[in-house]
Amino acid sequence: MLDIALVGCGGMMPLPNRYLSSALLRYEGRMMLIDCGEGTQVSVKQVGWGFKNIDCICITHFHADHVAGLPGLLLTIGSSGREEPITIVGPQGVEHVVRSLCVIAPEIQYPINFIELPYRGESNIPIPMTSYKLSAIPANHNCPCFAYRIDIKRTGKFDLAAAQKLPIPRKYWGFLQRGDEIEHDGRIYTPEMVLGAGRKGLAVSYCTDSRPPRGLASFVKNSDIFICEGHYGEDEKLDKAKSHKHMIFSEAAKIAKDGEVKELWLTHFSPAMPNPEIFIENARAIFENSHVGYDRMVATIGFERD
Amino acid sequence: MLDIALVGCGGMMPLPNRYLSSALLRYEGRMMLIDCGEGTQVSVKQVGWGFKNIDCICITHFHADHVAGLPGLLLTIGSSGREEPITIVGPQGVEHVVRSLCVIAPEIQYPINFIELPYRGESNIPIPMTSYKLSAIPANHNCPCFAYRIDIKRTGKFDLAAAQKLPIPRKYWGFLQRGDEIEHDGRIYTPEMVLGAGRKGLAVSYCTDSRPPRGLASFVKNSDIFICEGHYGEDEKLDKAKSHKHMIFSEAAKIAKDGEVKELWLTHFSPAMPNPEIFIENARAIFENSHVGYDRMVATIGFERD
């Protein structure tokens, strides 16, 4: 099962009743955070999944409302007893930004690895991670910014008949099923030999801050949940959205529709929009399964039953 | 009148129901903030005095729970339309720390002046400010740290009989009363010529994080409000307080008593102490007018009536 928590749904500045946009994903007990504005650690605490197992933090871009909470969060992760490295992914310069912010956090003991993404083109950038597939695509903001996608792959179904035909002991089947290669009697056996065609996995996509970027609908294709900025609710705010490089609800819904995602969660609301839910029909008219995000909106998604 | 708001009362990390320790002072519409941890701007917003008139920010020390909120706050002050310079006071290195944190806030347009305090001795360090007297004294923490004191001076009462004896027109009396010198008929007239003895002003002192520093009781002498850390409530936590360079309630109360302050506000509570009020008697047994601080505890103090 993959758990998703919308840690916060605000844009620009934290408000008394709204944390800044951030998402936390948990799979098999390990976690990944996307963006970390001022106060994010407080909402993460309220989510209740702990801090120690946050292995990766993806930063969309370097505006304060997406990164200012990093030193506090990294210190709190340290206080949780973490000693293993953390990976921080972001636009080029992310190491410099994080190290500058951490001038007030010299007591962080665990290592931090950085992955800096090249900001060009429209193609997916694969990011090496162990337990899931992570990729990014450039967004279209007033500074280098990335949208992210997390895929939990699912192997094909175990093919008992095929396994029984192989001249290897039954005790090796489990290894093949889990994806390991086996050498037996001088011959290599691969997982594909006992697995059927790959089955649909799980996918979550996240895009803020941005105008509708070229290629985004393909990038988020078939996501179970697509978390997308809707900085303004009203269609009348389109010009403002264009000049501030943000989206209106209906633009996010159009991407959700074109990308054939299952569900759209709107986020990164303007501080001047205290009640974004009153504009939800602007999204639903285009993509029905649109939802106005709220702090600590949580979902659990699992593989489809065979 | 001098307004004081305890913006937050937490130590180490922001909690869902407790912002980090910070105090906001307002006098004649102008404001000064002491410390700015992660989330401070949200509580300042709830205080409701606005952001634009914050002229000065005093930083006690560079631990994240006292400074991590600076980039967000400075950006929000900018969004309020401020163009005048802000003064940031702190230990030596404060300019480097603030500029490092502001790597994510390049859009700040107004100038920032820095005053870096020398960390030595026990004597008061006067800090040049226009509308009030600001001073600092080294605290005793595990890094350079300062306690601050703000004094609103009050001149002596206008002495009508003395003024009438001076050979200057009545229209100059007001200037002398407000503290200006006047030249008339080749002679200099000074405010002291028409004012009685200086009267008691207003004073607020603030000390966190620290063991009881030498000289602090004299430094806070006769303060109307003394805001002091009480990281732990129980006397049994004294050893822990010593090793972490913090105070227990009874130590703060002893300073309040020796300093003959009017009122003690305890702050900077350990995250492991969710209900500090249950320990208040440990302070009141020593200094009766002790109070457990809470987020947005507010007081207004005025000059004594003649």
Summarize pLDDT for B61-100 with one digit per residue, the tens.
999 999 999 999 999 999 999 999 999 999 999 999 999 9
Mean pLDDT of A31-36: 97
pLDDT bucket at A122, cuts 50 / 70 / 90 = low
Collect all residues with Cβ–Cβ distance below 8 Å to A248 and sequence separation of at least 6: A230, A231, A232, A233, A234, A235, A237, A238, A241, A282
Residues of B whose CB is below 8 A from A65: 72
A-interface mutation test, from B79, B103, B143, B296, most A Cβ less than 10 A away: B103
**Whether residue B179 has pLDDT greater than 90:** no
Residues of A whose CB is below 8 A from B16: 42, 45-46
Active-site residue flag, B65: yes
Q: For residue B5, what are the CA distances in angstroms to B23, B43, B255, B266, B273?
A: 6, 10, 21, 13, 22
Q: Is B77 on the interface with A (CB under 8 A)?
A: no
Q: Is A64 on the interface with B (CB under 8 A)?
A: yes
Query: Rounded to the nearest 5 degrees, what angle is found at the Cα of A18, between the Cα atoms of A16 and A20?
Result: 115
Residues of B whose CB is below 8 A from A37: 72
**Residue A190 and residue A208 in contact, taking contact as beta carbons nearer than 8 Å:** no
Mean pLDDT of A246-266: 98
- Residue B122: predicted pLDDT: 58
Q: How far is B256 from chain A (nearest CA, A)?
A: 31
Q: Is B105 on the interface with A (CB under 8 A)?
A: yes
- Nearest by CB: B64 against A37, A72, A100: A72
How many contacts (CB atoms, under 8 Å) link A and B?
A: 89
Looking up tokens 């822990």, which residue turns up? B240
Q: A104 vs B101: CB contact, 8 Å cut-off?
A: yes
- Residue B305: predicted pLDDT: 81
**Residue B3 and residue B25 in contact, taking contact as beta carbons nearer than 8 Å:** yes
Return d(Cα B55, Cα A108) in angstroms, integer: 33
Peptide bond into B209 cis (omega under 30): yes
pLDDT bucket at B121, cuts 50 / 70 / 90 = low
**Residue A89 and residue A115 in contact, taking contact as beta carbons nearer than 8 Å:** yes
**DSSP per-residue string spanning A219-283:** HTTT-SEEEEE-SB-SGGGHHHHHHHT--BHHHHHHHHHHTT-S-EEEE-B-TT-S-GGGGHHHH
Q: Is A72 on the interface with B (CB under 8 A)?
A: yes
pLDDT, tens digit, for every residue of A238-252? 999 999 999 999 999
Q: How far is B16 from chain A (nearest CA, A)?
A: 6
**Residue B60 and residue B50 in contact, taking contact as beta carbons nearer than 8 Å:** no
Pseudo-torsion of CA B287, B292, B293, B294, nearest 10°? -170
Return d(Cα B267, Cα B232) in angstroms, integer: 10
Alpha-helical runs (H) found in A146-194: 160-165, 173-177
Looking up tokens 């931090």, which residue turns up? A112
**Whether residue A136 has pLDDT greater than 70:** yes
Return d(Cα B302, Cα B33) in angstroms, integer: 19
- Residue B93: predicted pLDDT: 96
Residues of A whose CB is below 8 A from B38: 38-39, 41, 68-69, 72
**Residue of A224, A283, A279 lying closest to A252 (CA atoms):** A283
Q: A42 vs B68: CB contact, 8 Å cut-off?
A: no
Mean pLDDT of A248-257: 98
Q: How far is residue B68 CA from its own chain's centroid?
A: 19
**Residue A258 and residue A294 in contact, taking contact as beta carbons nearer than 8 Å:** no
- Residue A119: predicted pLDDT: 79
Query: Rounded to the nearest 5 degrees, what angle is found at the Cα of B40, between the Cα atoms of B114 and A31?
Result: 115
Q: Is A147 on the interface with B (CB under 8 A)?
A: no
DSSP H helix total and E strand total for chain A: 10, 16
pLDDT, tens digit, for every residue of B131-142? 788 999 999 999
* Active site amino acids of A: 65
Residues of A whose CB is below 8 A from B97: 103-104
- Residue B286: predicted pLDDT: 98
- Nearest by CB: B39 against A38, A76, A100: A38
Residues of B whose CB is below 8 A from A42: 14-16, 39
pLDDT bucket at A166, cuts 50 / 70 / 90 = confident
- Residue A123: predicted pLDDT: 60
Paired strand residues for A20? A10
Q: How far is B262 from chain A (nearest CA, A)?
A: 32
Return d(Cα B115, Cα B59) in angstroms, integer: 10
DSSP H or E run through A182: strand A182-184
Question: In this structure, what are the phi and psi dihedrals at residue A210, rounded to the nearest 5 degrees?
Answer: -170, 150
Instruction: Let me know if B189 is exposed, middle or buried by CB neighbors in 10 A (0-12, 13-18, 19+).
Output: buried
Q: Is A90 on the interface with B (CB under 8 A)?
A: no
Residues of B whose CB is below 8 A from A8: none
Bridge-based pairing state of the strands A146-154 and A133-138? antiparallel
Residues of A whose CB is below 8 A from B37: 72
Return d(Cα A240, Cα B176) in angstroms, integer: 54
Token pair listed for B247: 């105070």
Which entry of B65, B209, B224, B295 is annotated as an active-site residue? B65
**Whether residue B27 has pLDDT greater than 80:** yes
pLDDT, tens digit, for every residue of A211-231? 998 899 999 999 999 999 999
Alpha-helical runs (H) found in B1-93: 40-47, 64-67, 70-79
Q: Is B47 on the interface with A (CB under 8 A)?
A: no
**Whether residue A130 has pLDDT greater than 80:** no
Q: Is A35 on the interface with B (CB under 8 A)?
A: no
Return d(Cα B75, Cα B106) in angstroms, integer: 9
Peptide bond into A209 cis (omega under 30): yes
Q: Is B13 on the interface with A (CB under 8 A)?
A: yes
Query: Rounded to the nearest 5 degrees, what angle is found at the Cα of B207, between the Cα atoms of B206 and B212?
Result: 145
Paired strand residues for B43? none
Q: B68 vs A71: CB contact, 8 Å cut-off?
A: yes
pLDDT, tens digit, for every residue of B142-175? 999 999 999 998 888 888 888 898 888 888 888 8
Q: Is B42 on the interface with A (CB under 8 A)?
A: yes
Instruction: Let me know if A56 is exposed, middle or buried by CB neighbors in 10 A (0-12, 13-18, 19+).
Output: buried
Q: What is the mean pLDDT of chain A?
A: 93
Q: Is A76 on the interface with B (CB under 8 A)?
A: yes
Helix (H, G, I), strand (E, B) or coil at A100: helix
Q: B75 vs A64: CB contact, 8 Å cut-off?
A: yes
**DSSP per-residue string spanning B208-220:** -S-B--TTHHHHT
- Residue B129: predicted pLDDT: 65
pLDDT, tens digit, for every residue of A49-93? 999 999 999 999 999 999 999 999 999 999 999 999 999 999 999
pLDDT bucket at A128, cuts 50 / 70 / 90 = low
Predicted TM-score (pTM) of the model is: 0.90
**Whether residue B123 has pLDDT greater than 90:** no
Nearest residue in chain A measured CA to CA from B107: A63
Distance from the first to the final alpha carbon of chain A: 15
Token pair listed for A72: 């506090």
Q: B64 vs A79: CB contact, 8 Å cut-off?
A: no
- Nearest by CB: A39 against B42, B63, B76: B42
- Asked whether the CA dihedral A11, A13, A14, A16 is positive or negative, the reply is negative
pLDDT, tens digit, for every residue of A190-203? 988 898 888 889 99
Q: Is B161 on the interface with A (CB under 8 A)?
A: no
- Residue B11: predicted pLDDT: 97
